[in-house]
């Protein structure tokens, strides 16, 4: 940051930002999905929109902000561009009460994220691969994707097993 | 335990350490390989997942068929969505995931062997064929016939069968891998345990070794300290004993000085008395008195000899001479005593020559012969010399009482006498043989003694023979005739310096009896006055060593020589045999006479000095008896 704030101004700004984000996190009423539900976040969450569960359609996901990841994967050819919402934003939107959660796929595949330091990396819940919407046949409609190329330390079997495709649900513990 | 065993044990333990580290490294590597192979297990899981996908598809298809067979239960358009979705999952697995996963795993070597790789590829190909075949039936707008569903279910069954077959083979592998992992972990555990134990053993042994080394170092330090203390004690004892022996020597010197003074005077008085008596009886008594004085003088000489030898002031001066000259002189000297005791004294010498100090050898032989005569009651004493090509052997043999074997070494110690329990001083002090021993050591000549109790004793002196034909040195002994000539000391001017009146007077009387012109002074000033004021010009100075007020005869002589500007002959007379004096006297090159001086010796010495007019003969001879 090139602009130099005075110490007081900086502290005040920080406090304001913190308060604002807190109010957003706690007070935000999650709107109800209008289209097809692609993802459910269940379990220990604070922001629900359907009987204690947070349901998301594509528009709701897009409204949380779109992030692109460019990486090589074992399942795609060359460098692939994945576009989606940051996992951290998604969990925040649902008001997740813990960082420990489980990801479940359409074919009942499960992966426990309790052992993964997912908060350290910009992990994306992607709905678009190389600017095309993911379908079930292309391992969509949602795919948990890690920036393997940018972070060599996560380019391993464990994190590849955590890259759950055909993602339909996150259960927060 | 000794050091060596400690070191060996700790080396063994260290070796075990190294071995277990190597083993551990190997185990870790192989464990890594095993974990690597766990990749195959993922493949099994993936296969199971596909199997489940097929199950889901089969369930959806069966449901749809059941609806078709008994219509009204579910609207047809909703149920085809489900089976299409399940088919899409299967499709995605084969077409999207499996294709790339297969590529990925085969490139990273997860296929454990070629057989499994082939069967996995076959499984994949049949799956792809399945999705290709039924893709056309999965149109969201169309519907699938029951026959087609049945065929599809049959194909799904076949697919599942081959998947479980494939998975089974990997499941076995999985179990084996797990068992191997367990085994590996157990080995790791054991090797770590072993490593820890051997490390501890090494540590313990090393600690023990260091402790032992430290303790022993401490002990040896302690020992060295004790030894050092002992050495200090020994050194101080030694120093004390040296001091004691120095004290003894000082005592000797002082004692012989004090004894000499009156004896000296007595000798001089007796000498001058002879002129004043006329009766035979008186002469006999005078002779006896003179003999006693001589005997006493001999005893003192012995003491003085020992004192001088211990002081180390006697230095040998070797020269070449004929042995027979020396032997016949000694023979002559002891003949009267031998005759008196009715002992045959025989001299048998050859014409060999030796190179040694003649006067000191004379002293040795004199002591030996004197001893032989003392301890022989009857029979003979033989002085002989024989020679071979290497050495000359001089022997003194007697037919006396001999020396018991046990006492043969003891006779060489000071004051040791055989058969003299009554301590008859006429037989000497028992210093003879110790003087002989000291002199032979000084001359570095070999001295041997053979003795048998009751048969006699034989002393042998071995000297190297001189082979050259060069003439032997002149006979140093002063012939009696020369002495007689020199005894004419008439008008020789002598200045006597002595602080003790008795001595001074008796000396003056003796000198005057030889017709010398004598002046006497009691100190340096008096002597200088006699020369400078009375105009007395002496031919010879006779000075006592110890004068009053720390003045010495040496200083007196120097002062007088300075006044006269002439180095006139001078003799120091002293009873002081202390080491310091002897050393100093040797250095100042003065002629020294030791008290008690016999009148005859005084006469000879003065005569020699006056006739040769040489004031600096080196004093080194033991006193002649």
- All residues at 6 or more sequence positions from A46 whose CB lies less than 8 Å from its CB, including other chains: A25, A26, A94, A95, A96, A97
Q: Which residue of B39, B56, B89 is in closest CB contact with A136? A: B89
Task: Please provide the DSSP assignment of B292-328 as one string.
Answer: HHHHHHHHHHHHHHHHHHHHT------EEEEHHHHHH
CA distance B125 to A122: 37
Q: What is residue B79's predicted lDDT score, i.e. its pLDDT?
A: 66
Count of residues in chain A: 173
**SS3 label, residue A169:** strand
Torsion of CA B514, B517, B523, B524, to 10 degrees: -130
B454-463 average pLDDT score = 87
Asked whether residue A10 is assigned to any structural domain, the reply reads no
Chain A partners within 8 Å of B59 (Cβ): none
Range in A150-164, B30-44, B305-319 the model is least confident about? B30-44
Q: What is residue B82's predicted lDDT score, i.e. its pLDDT?
A: 86
CA distance B324 to B458: 19
CA distance B85 to A124: 24
- Is the CB of residue B338 less than 8 Å from the CB of residue B345? yes
Backbone angles phi, psi at A72, to 5 degrees: -90, 145
CA distance B392 to B356: 12
- Is the CB of residue B285 less than 8 Å from the CB of residue B279? no
Q: What is residue A2's predicted lDDT score, i.e. its pLDDT?
A: 43
Q: Does B97 touch chain A (CB under 8 A)?
A: yes
pLDDT tops 60 at residue B482: no
A86-113 average pLDDT score = 92
Torsion of CA B211, B214, B216, B221, to 10 degrees: -160
Domain count along chain A: 1
Q: By CB neighbour count within 10 A (0-12 exposed, 13-18 middle, 19+ buried), where does B5 fall?
A: exposed
Q: Report residue B425's pLDDT band, with 50, 70 and 90 as the boundaries.
A: very low
Contact A161 B85 (CB under 8 A): no
Sign of the torsion formed by the C-alpha atoms of B259, B262, B265 and B270: negative
Q: Report residue B456's pLDDT band, with 50, 70 and 90 as the boundaries.
A: confident
The larger pLDDT score, comparing residue B414 to residue B203, is at: B203
Chain A partners within 8 Å of B100 (Cβ): 73-77
Contact B95 A165 (CB under 8 A): no
Chain A partners within 8 Å of B95 (Cβ): 137
Query: Could you give the C-alpha distances from B290 to B285, B555, B593, in angstroms and in order?
Result: 9, 34, 19
Strand partners, A101: A172
Q: Report residue B337's pLDDT band, with 50, 70 and 90 as the boundaries.
A: confident
Distance from CA of B91 to the nearest CA of A (A): 6
Contact B96 A135 (CB under 8 A): no
Asked whether residue A3 is assigned to any structural domain, the reply reads no
Distance from CA of A47 to the nearest CA of B (A): 30
Q: Does A123 touch chain B (CB under 8 A)?
A: no
The larger pLDDT score, comparing residue B43 to residue B396, is at: B396
The CATH number of the domain where A62 resides is what?
3.90.420.10
Contact B96 A74 (CB under 8 A): no
Task: Please give the radius of gyration of chain A, using alpha carbons only, rounded to the nearest integer.
Answer: 17
Helix residue ranges per DSSP H, B92-145: 99-107, 114-134
Chain A's closest residue to B98, CA to CA, is: A75
Strands of A110-112's sheet in order across:
A54-57, A37-43, A167-172, A101-105, A110-112
Sign of the torsion formed by the C-alpha atoms of B319, B324, B329 and B335: positive
- Is the CB of residue B15 less than 8 Å from the CB of residue B165? no
B378-403 average pLDDT score = 86
Strand partners, A144: A125
pLDDT tens for each residue of B252-289: 666 666 777 778 888 888 888 877 888 888 888 888 88
Q: What is residue B37's predicted lDDT score, i.e. its pLDDT?
A: 53
CA distance B263 to B257: 10
Chain A's closest residue to B100, CA to CA, is: A75
- Is the CB of residue B292 less than 8 Å from the CB of residue B339? no
Strand partners, B100: none
Distance from CA of B19 to the nearest CA of A (A): 33
Asked whether residue A165 is assigned to any structural domain, the reply reads yes
Range in A16-25, A144-153, B89-98, B123-132 the model is least confident about? A16-25
Range in B161-165, B183-187, B238-242, B268-272 the model is least confident about? B238-242
CA distance B177 to B31: 10
Q: Report residue A148's pLDDT band, with 50, 70 and 90 as the boundaries.
A: very high
Backbone angles phi, psi at B471, to 5 degrees: -65, 140
Which range marks the domain in which residue A41 is found?
Answer: 31-172
Range in B354-358, B509-513, B592-596 the model is least confident about? B592-596
Nearest to B390 by CA among B444, B352, B347: B352
Q: In the numeric block, which tokens belong to residue B272?
A: 């001058």
Q: Does A111 touch chain B (CB under 8 A)?
A: no
Q: What is residue B573's predicted lDDT score, i.e. its pLDDT?
A: 83
Q: Does A36 touch chain B (CB under 8 A)?
A: no
Distance from CA of B92 to the nearest CA of A (A): 4
Asked whether residue A88 is assigned to any structural domain, the reply reads yes
Query: Could you give the C-alpha distances from B414 to B250, B251, B272, B314, in angstroms and in order?
Result: 17, 16, 36, 19
Q: What is residue B531's predicted lDDT score, i.e. its pLDDT?
A: 86
CA distance B503 to A118: 131
- With a pLDDT cut of 90, the percent of chain B lying above it is 5
Q: What is residue B481's predicted lDDT score, i.e. its pLDDT?
A: 41
**Residue pointed to by tokens 């025989």:** B346
pLDDT tops 80 at residue B2: no
Distance from CA of A96 to the nearest CA of B (A): 29
Query: Could you give the C-alpha distances from A88 to A2, A65, A85, A121, B366, in angstroms and in order?
Result: 27, 11, 8, 9, 131
CA distance A104 to A109: 6
B422-438 average pLDDT score = 66
- All residues at 6 or more sequence positions from B378 whose CB lies less than 8 Å from its CB, including other chains: B342, B343, B399
- Is the CB of residue B55 less than 8 Å from the CB of residue B86? no
Predicted complex ipTM exceeds 0.85 = no
Contact B53 A107 (CB under 8 A): yes
Task: Please provide the DSSP assignment of B143-200 as one string.
Answer: ---HHHHHHHHHHHHHHHHHHHHHHHHHHHHHHHHHHHHHHHHHHHHHHHHHHHHHHH
Q: Which residue of A106, A109, A138 is in closest CB contact with B96? A: A138
Strand partners, B450: B458
Q: What is residue B245's predicted lDDT score, i.e. its pLDDT?
A: 67
CA distance B321 to B359: 11
- Is the CB of residue A31 less than 8 Å from the CB of residue A47? no
Mutation pick from B46, B81, B96 vs chain A, by most beta carbons of A within 10 Å, is: B96
CA distance B120 to B135: 22
- Is the CB of residue B128 less than 8 Å from the CB of residue B122? no
CA distance B380 to B63: 161
Q: What is residue A86's predicted lDDT score, i.e. its pLDDT?
A: 95
Asked whether residue A70 is assigned to any structural domain, the reply reads yes
How far does Cα A83 stand from its chain's mean position? 11
Q: Report residue A11's pLDDT band, with 50, 70 and 90 as the boundaries.
A: low
Mutation pick from B51, B92, B94, B128 vs chain A, by most beta carbons of A within 10 Å, is: B92
Chain B partners within 8 Å of A136 (Cβ): 85, 88-89, 91-92
How far does Cα B164 stand from its chain's mean position? 92
- All residues at 6 or more sequence positions from B500 whose CB lies less than 8 Å from its CB, including other chains: B261, B544
CA distance B295 to B267: 11
pLDDT tens for each residue of A45-98: 999 998 899 999 999 999 999 999 999 988 888 899 999 999 999 999 999 999
Distance from CA of A136 to the nearest CA of B (A): 6
Region for residue B312 given its phi and psi (left: phi exceeds 0; alpha: psi -120 to 50; beta: otherwise): left
Peptide bond just before B461 cis, omega within 30 deg? no
B162-166 average pLDDT score = 82
Asked whether residue A140 is assigned to any structural domain, the reply reads yes
Range in A153-162, B535-544, B568-577 the model is least confident about? B568-577
Strand partners, A145: A124
Contact A136 B85 (CB under 8 A): yes
Asked whether residue A128 is assigned to any structural domain, the reply reads yes
Chain A partners within 8 Å of B93 (Cβ): 107
Chain A's closest residue to B94, CA to CA, is: A137
Q: What is residue B87's predicted lDDT score, i.e. its pLDDT?
A: 93
pLDDT tops 70 at residue B39: no
Distance from CA of A88 to the nearest CA of B (A): 26
B134-146 average pLDDT score = 86
Pick the most confident of A57-71, B263-277, B398-412, B578-592: A57-71
**SS3 label, residue B591:** strand
Q: Which of the 8 DSSP states describes residue B463?
A: E
Chain B's closest residue to A137, CA to CA, is: B92
Pick the most confident of A49-58, A106-115, B2-11, B426-435: A49-58
Asked whether residue A6 is assigned to any structural domain, the reply reads no
């Amino acid at each position: 940051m090139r602009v130099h704030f005075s110490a007081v101004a900086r502290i005040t700004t920080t406090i304001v930002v913190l308060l604002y984000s807190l109010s957003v996190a706690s007070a935000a009423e999650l709107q109800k999905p209008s289209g097809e539900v692609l993802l459910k976040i269940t379990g220990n969450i604070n922001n629900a929109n359907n009987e204690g569960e947070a349901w998301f359609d594509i528009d709701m996901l897009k409204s949380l902000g779109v992030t692109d990841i460019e990486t090589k994967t074992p399942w795609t050819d060359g460098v692939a561009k994945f576009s989606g919402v940051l996992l951290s934003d998604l969990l925040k939107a649902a008001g997740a009460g813990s960082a420990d959660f489980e990801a479940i796929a359409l074919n009942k595949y499960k992966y426990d994220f309790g052992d993964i330091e997912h908060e350290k990396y910009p992990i994306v819940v992607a709905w678009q691969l190389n600017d095309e919407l993911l379908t079930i046949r292309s391992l969509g409609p949602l795919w948990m994707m890690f920036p393997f190329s940018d972070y060599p330390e996560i380019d391993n079997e464990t994190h590849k097993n955590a890259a759950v495709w055909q993602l339909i649900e996150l259960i927060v513990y | 335990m000794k050091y060596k065993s400690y070191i060996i044990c700790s080396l063994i333990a260290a070796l075990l350490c190294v071995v277990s580290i190597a083993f551990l490294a190997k185990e870790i590597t192989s464990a890594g390989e095993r974990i690597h192979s766990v990749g195959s297990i993922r493949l099994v899981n993936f296969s199971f997942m596909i199997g489940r996908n097929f199950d889901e598809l089969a369930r959806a298809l069966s449901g749809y068929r059941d609806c078709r067979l008994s219509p009204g239960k579910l609207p047809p358009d909703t149920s085809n969505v489900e089976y299409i979705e399940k088919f899409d999952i299967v499709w995605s697995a084969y077409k999207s995931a499996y294709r790339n996963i297969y590529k990925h795993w085969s490139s990273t070597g997860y296929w454990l062997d070629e057989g499994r790789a082939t069967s996995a590829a076959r499984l994949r190909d049949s799956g792809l064929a399945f999705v290709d075949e039924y893709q056309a039936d999965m149109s969201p707008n169309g519907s699938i016939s029951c026959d087609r569903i049945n065929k599809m279910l049959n194909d799904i069954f076949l697919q599942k069968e081959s998947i479980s077959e494939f998975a089974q083979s990997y499941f076995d592998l999985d179990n084996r891998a797990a068992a191997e992992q367990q085994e590996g972990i157990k080995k790791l555990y054991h090797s770590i345990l072993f490593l820890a134990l051997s490390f501890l053993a090494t540590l313990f042994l090393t600690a023990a070794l260091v402790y032992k080394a430290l303790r022993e170092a401490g002990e040896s330090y302690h020992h060295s300290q004790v030894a050092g203390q002992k050495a200090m004690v020994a050194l101080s004892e030694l120093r004390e004993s040296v001091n004691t022996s120095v004290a003894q020597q000082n005592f000797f010197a002082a004692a012989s000085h004090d004894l000499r003074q009156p004896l000296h005077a007595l000798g001089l008085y007796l000498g001058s008395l002879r002129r004043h008596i006329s009766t035979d009886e008186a002469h006999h008594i005078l002779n006896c008195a003179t003999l006693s004085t001589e005997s006493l003088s001999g005893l003192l000489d012995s003491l003085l000899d020992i004192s001088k030898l211990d002081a180390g002031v006697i230095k040998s001066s070797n020269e070449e001479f004929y042995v027979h000259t020396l032997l016949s002189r000694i023979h002559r000297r002891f003949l009267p005593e031998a005759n008196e005791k009715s002992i045959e004294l025989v001299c048998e010498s050859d014409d060999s020559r030796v190179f040694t100090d003649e006067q000191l050898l004379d002293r040795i032989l004199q002591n030996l012969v004197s001893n032989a005569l003392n301890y022989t009651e009857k029979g003979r004493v033989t002085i002989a010399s024989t020679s071979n090509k290497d050495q000359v052997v001089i022997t003194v043999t007697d037919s006396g009482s001999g020396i018991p074997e046990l006492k043969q070494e003891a006779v060489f110690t000071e004051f040791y006498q055989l058969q003299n329990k009554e301590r008859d001083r006429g037989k000497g002090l028992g210093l003879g043989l110790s003087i002989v021993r000291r002199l032979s050591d000084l001359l570095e000549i070999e001295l041997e003694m053979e003795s048998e109790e009751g048969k006699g004793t034989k002393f042998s002196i071995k000297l190297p023979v001189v082979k050259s034909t060069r003439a032997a040195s002149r006979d140093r002994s002063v012939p009696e005739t020369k002495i007689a000539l020199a005894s004419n000391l008439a008008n020789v001017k002598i200045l006597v310096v002595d602080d003790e009146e008795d001595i001074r007077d008796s000396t003056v009387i003796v000198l005057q009896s030889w017709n010398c012109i004598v002046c006497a002074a009691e100190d340096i000033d008096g002597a200088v006055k006699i020369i400078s004021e009375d105009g007395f010009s002496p031919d010879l100075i006779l000075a006592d060593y110890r004068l009053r007020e720390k003045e010495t005869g040496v200083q007196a002589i120097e002062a007088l020589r300075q006044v006269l500007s002439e180095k006139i002959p001078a003799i120091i007379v002293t009873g002081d045999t202390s080491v310091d004096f002897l050393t100093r006297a040797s250095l100042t090159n003065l002629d020294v006479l030791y008290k008690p001086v016999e009148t005859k010796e005084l006469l000879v010495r003065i005569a020699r000095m006056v006739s040769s007019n040489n004031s600096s003969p080196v004093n080194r001879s033991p006193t002649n008896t």
